[in-house]
A and B are shown apart, each in its own frame.
Chain A
Amino acid sequence: MKPPREIVQTILQEFRGSLYRIYRSIFRGSYPATLRQQLGVVVNNLVLHVHPTRVYRRSIRPAGTLGLGLICFYLFVIEWITGVYLMFYYEPSVSAAYGRIQDLDSVVTFGRVVRNVHRWGAEAMVVFVFLHMCRVFYTGAYKPPREFNWVLGVILLLLTLALSFTGYLLPWDQLSFWAVTVGTNIASYAPVLGPKFRFLLLGGDTVGSEALLRFYTLHVIAVPTVAALLINYHIWRVIKDGGLARPPQQEPQSADGVVPTFPLVVYMELLVFVVLTVGLLVVSLLFNAPLEEEANPLQPSNPSKAPWYFLGLQELVSYSAFWGGVMVPTVLTLFLLVLPYIDRGPDGVGEWFARKRLGMIILWSLLLIGIVVTILIGVYFRGPNWNFYWPWNAWPGPD
């Protein structure tokens, strides 16, 4: 008969041993303590292996990238998870959709907060994808050999807008109904193909049950699948193109300039994720996603506004349907797609606001100001009948 203390020790030992065995079975090895193991784990772990084993120290400076690409990726993941939760309750039919959203907001456990996270996360994703693109531009990171990855990024921006826009219709309230009516009207201004494209998207001439079903299918399976594949490709290309852009003369000469990915970079990425989640949750607990009364095709809201990221276009459309609906979006997209093939000089790669790229920087900033100002006018300065109102002037109307 052993003394009880020894028995306890044996049990603890067994317990620790089995925990260790479980850990090994999951992570295929012990905790990486030595440098050699730490380099190895990045190669051997499915999640970590998208990283290089070591990264340049300058690549992980927060001021270098502001973590914007990473935030976009995380937002996509958060949207995916919350989206699946919402799918359990949602029904894409004209008669049921609005009631389902009301149920989510009133009786489904965590329904309201999950819908809020999904909504604000979607708005944030549009913002952060755009900011990420601005970062890449201002640091000249699209220049050879990274041209094609920029093109992928532009496509991902368009997919983000498509995801947000298709999701906009699903609550089937007045806000979503008229926003999508206005948004698809903008698309129909394109000559010849415009009306056909609108018909294809809506499955009819007006927003109705066919449109809801199509937007739903696009929103929950078609666009996310394409986006997920392209996001993988986009990240893979970052590594294959030689990591983050950096000035040619700053190639690190010694091992001092690099740091093993595990554990420092992994922790940093984890930190960004947790902070982002906290931020999104706080916003979602404080502010509810909008929900107006049920969609009513007979009662247009006044003003009927497209989703905010299309309000710049709507503002231009109010002056000229051709310029706002056709020329500006087409030229802007083409400009973005061909940009890295035109602006190929090696100047200013991996450097914020390089003096030598002054012309391009001014051009981009003007575009940026133009986009932001037209959107702000559309959001805050346009009232009933698209009349101009200062934000401090109340609109005529009940509220």
Chain B
Amino acid sequence: MDEVEKIERWVILACLLLTAILGWAAWDASTQEWEGYQESYYRLALLRANSEAQKEWVRAQPVEIKQLQPKEHRSVERCITCHLAVDNPMFRDAPEPFRAHSSLLVSHPAQRFGCVVCHGGEGRAVTTLEGHGQGNIRAKPLLRGEYMQAACYSCHGEANLSPKAVAAVVRGRQLVNRYLCLGCHQIRGVGGEEGPDLSAVGSNRSWLWLYAHLARPQAIVVGSTMPVFLLSRAEVKDITIYLMTLLDSRDRFRNTPPAAEQRTKSYQGEEPKEEAKKEKENLPENAAAEKFRYDGGLLFHGAGCTMCHSIGNRGGEVGPALTYIGRKRKTEELERLLRDPEEVLPGGKMPQLYLNDEQIKTLAAYLSTLQ
């Protein structure tokens, strides 16, 4: 029976080990980050309590996961598991995660709207890392600072908000216009078909992704043909904020028309515009639209010429280098070429750019300066 005893001993040892591991699993499941936050909060609340009744109330609070199920959209949000003080006025000056929410909470009751629709993030998670969308560029990171304008704008549109509250969105839209993004990309049926449709890009990409991609497209999407626009950080930020307002119908959360007596007066003193008009408002001006006051250099870089052509050692290699194009071609020749490339260079790769006369003139004038 020696053999049997030996194996018995191993079985007992293994079972002890299993018990220990199960204990570890139980400990692991029972020690949660949010429990620590809740305990700290109740301790602080006890210190700040004014009356015995308040203290009683604090003592009676259980440590548990708290969640919101906003009435306006189907989701579960557990942000308040850690952010316990959002509706506690005594915590107005407390540091996060226990700061009370600003007065905006009154007009945006959390029971109705939840947190994520304004703040971004991952509502179901109960750890800082996952809830705030950190550590993964494709997760939904929190919207902070000016980025929150995208959220305000998505629901209220431009007309209902003060110009200051949508300044970044408007700047971003102007930049999208200036850099002729719609030359390649489409937004709700307007624009080119060269690049991906951007109609719902705010739903499909995180702002972190958009930011990184705008700064250097090829670093994010391998083999991307999107030109590097050499944008400043502020420009990248503004465009990103604008793009975050382009949501698909699932995420687009339109403010339901409020009751007549509560109707928010728009800052221009107008009635809030209709849905369709709001949509259109958010579109940048058409690429071929009037009002081009930007110089040819900006146009050159904006229209994507550098995708194929180079100046100096910068730019693409598909088309001929344009470093000295002003020596080779007359301005009129360039204008004709830009108007209809197929006519001047039949069978060539140069695409029809659909520029208007003014743009063609400006661009040709710029090109003839390259000597």
Contact = CB atoms under 8 A, between A and B. Distances in A.
A367 B17 CA distance: 39
B223 A107 contact: no
B7 A106 contact: no
A110 B21 CA distance: 13
Contact of A113 (B18, B29, B122): B29
A274 B14 contact: yes
A292 interface: yes
A110 B25 CA distance: 8
B17 A396 contact: no
Interface in A92-128: 95, 99, 102-103, 105-107, 109-110, 112-113
B358 to A, nearest CB: 37
A299 B198 CA distance: 12
B200 A396 contact: no
Contacts of A95: 74
A268 interface: yes
Interface string B219-235: 11111000000000000
What size tier do the contact residues of chain B reach?
35 or more
A298 B78 CA distance: 28
A274 B21 CA distance: 11
Interface in B68-95: 74-76, 78
Given A109-B29, A278-B14, A399-B137, A385 B222 contact: yes
Nearest to A263: B4
Given A264-B3, A267-B8, A113 B124 contact: no
B63 interface: no
B10 interface: yes
B219 A396 contact: yes
A107 B222 contact: no
A331 interface: no
Interface residues of A, number: 40
B14 A271 contact: yes
Tell which of B17, B205, B212 has the most Cβ of chain A within 10 Å: B17
Contact of B25 (A275, A285, A396): A285
Nearest to A109: B29
A299 B218 CA distance: 17
A172 to B, nearest CB: 14
A106 B138 contact: no
B140 A397 contact: no
B40 interface: no
B41 to A, nearest CB: 18
Contact of B7 (A264, A275, A282, A299): A264
B136 interface: yes
A292 B7 contact: no
User: Which of B14, B76, B205, B220 has the largest number of chain A CB atoms within 10 A?
Assistant: B14
13 contacts: A103-B76, A105-B125, A107-B126, A281-B24, A293-B136, A293-B140, A299-B205, A385-B222, A397-B219, A397-B220, A398-B138, A398-B219, A399-B137
Interface of A: 95, 99, 102-103, 105-107, 109-110, 112-113, 174, 263-264, 267-268, 270-271, 274-275, 277-278, 281-282, 285, 292-293, 296, 298-299, 302, 383-385, 387, 395-399
Interface of B: 3-4, 7-8, 10-11, 14-15, 17-18, 21-22, 24-25, 28-29, 65, 74-76, 78, 122, 124-127, 130, 136-140, 200, 204-205, 208-209, 212, 218-223
Given A95-B74, A264-B7, A271-B11, 16 more contacts: A99-B76, A103-B76, A106-B126, A271-B10, A278-B18, A285-B28, A292-B138, A293-B139, A298-B200, A299-B204, A384-B222, A396-B220, A396-B222, A397-B222, A398-B138, A399-B136
Identify the 5 closest CB pairs spanning chains A and B, nearest first. A384-B222, A398-B137, A274-B14, A102-B124, A267-B7
